Structure 1
Amino acid sequence: MESEQVILSGQAVELRPLQASHAAELVQAASDGELWNMKVTVIPGPETVDGYIATALAGREAGTVMPFVIVRKDTGQVVGSTRFWKIDRKNRKLEIGHTWLGQSVQRSGLNTEMKALLLEYAIEVMQCVRVQFTTDELNEKSRAAILRIGARQEGIVRHERIMPDGRKRNSVRFSIIDDEWPEVKTMLAAKMASRLTPIP
């Protein structure tokens, strides 16, 4: 059964359902830093974007993926992508992943608000008891970003996947569980409020 398509809207960012028509905008966003050249994650480029979108939409059709484009509300510009995937409704868990932002908006506060929107929807609307995150052991920036939003590191999964260049990737797994969400939600709200406080 196809996953529901929802729009998640905050003050600075809006998450809209990914469509095939977003291909050019995703490539434009990824060109901000030529992110497709990164070795520690898979980000669509001009040659791979159609397959990237097709895989996401097939997952949505199967009911295991909810893919989004990340839109800046002040400009209407697509600046990246993220998704719920590994959706397991029986066990009420999922993973937030395939997340990337153009280089110029990284560490801008958009990621914090986006993750808050996703976590709120997953835990409060979809009634998830577990939300997990997985990143490359070598991706120090991603690991730090996941810890900053209140997730706990659980361990390292060895040779968890084969990267496009053939490297056997060790992945670090993190999670936030439903019991932790009230504290995490308060912390994220404080982080977002501090971003909006004018600097004297």
Structure 2
Amino acid sequence: MNALSLDIDLTGVTVELQPLQLNHRSQLLDAAADGELWNMTLTVVPGPDTVEQYLATALEGRQVGTVMPFVIVQRETGKLVGSTRFWKIDRKNRKLEIGHTWLSESIQRSGINTEVKYLLLTHAFEVMNCVRVQFTTDELNEKSRAAILRIGATQEGIVRHERIMPDGRKRNSVRFSIIDSEWPTVKALLEAKMRR
């Protein structure tokens, strides 16, 4: 995996992924307020009481080189509409995970998530030279599971009690992956989806 800057912009047709910064605090809260996403129990989205820890965790991960956190900005409006990140970056084994992805409720199912994943996967496989990109979601999160399958990932299995959620629930997580030999097919699938 190439030794690259952890502060990069990824620009698509409708969105731009910009490095997460402390000064994104209020914009993150505005984006999450669209649907009061912090009340979701199946994923962790920053809310008024948790945004400081959310930012600190992401930025500490970037500092040690295991996380590349982004904000998702709609290019047409310049509005921040969500967040995503590379994390669990393992340069030796050329693998990472795409996760912590959330979008304002009003732009969900708009095609933005497809472009976000396209930008991230292209960078992971074609710039960072990854051999594996994985995704993990809550076993109970049917919407997320379906979305990961739609982008061409393969479900590998369920990891029991993989993490403890903020409410104390022991979460079973579903693991998915895309490997380097599958990337050309997945890339073509995503490009076809974005053309529609």
Shift of 1:39: 0.5
What is aligned with 1:155? 157
Q: Partners in 2 of 1:2 and 1:165 — Cα distance? A: 37
Normalising by structure 1, we get a TM-score of 0.96
2:121 aligned residue:
119
Alignment-mate amino acid for residue 26 of structure 2: A
Which residue of 1 is the match for residue 168 of structure 2? 166
Q: Select which of 54, 57, 60 maps to 2:56.
A: 54
CA contact (8 A) 1:122 1:128 kept: yes
Instruction: For 1:23, give the aligned amino acid.
Output: R
Gaps of 5+ in 2: none
1:68-103 alpha-carbon deviations (Å, 9 max, x no partner): 000000000000000000000000000000000000
Q: Partner of 2:144 in structure 1?
A: 142
1:45 partner amino acid: G
Q: Secondary structure at the match of 2:70?
A: strand
Runs of 4+ in 1 over 6 A off after TM superposition: none
Other structure's SS at 2:175 match: strand
Residue 131 of structure 1 corresponds to which residue in structure 2?
133
Q: CA offsets, 1:163-198, max 9 Å, x none?
A: 00000000000000000000000010000001xxxx
- Whether 2:42 is the aligned partner of 1:40: answer yes
Aligned mates of 2:170, 2:82 — CA distance in 1: 26
Distance 1:105 1:173 in 2: 25
**Alignment-mate amino acid for residue 34 of structure 1:** E
Give the Å deviation of 1:2.
Answer: 9.1
Map residues 5-20 of structure 1 onto 2, 5 A cutoff: 5-20=7-22
Q: Is 2:95 aligned against 1:96?
A: no
1:193 aligned residue: 195
Inter-partner Cα distance in structure 2 for 1:179 and 1:99: 25
* Inter-partner Cα distance in structure 2 for 1:58 and 1:3: 15
Q: RMSD of the alignment, in Å?
A: 1.1
User: Equivalent residue of 2:140, what SS?
Assistant: coil
Cα displacement (A) at 1:3:
5.0
Corresponding residue of 1:198: none
One-letter identity of the residue aligned with 1:40:
L
Aligned match of 1:75:
77
Q: Deviation of residue 148 (structure 1)?
A: 0.5
* Identity level (%): 74
In the aligned structure 1, how far is the partner of 2:39 from the partner of 2:50?
Answer: 12
Contact kept? 1:92, 1:128, Cα under 8 Å: yes
Which of 31, 41, 49 is equivalent to 2:33? Answer: 31
The number of residues matched between the two structures is 194
What do residues 90-149 of structure 1 show as CA deviations (whole Å, max 9, x unaligned)? 000000000000001101000000000000000000000000000000000000000000
Residue 4 of structure 1: how far off its partner (Å): 2.0
Taking structure 2 as the reference length, what is the TM-score of the superposition? Answer: 0.97
Partner secondary structure for residue 23 of structure 2: helix
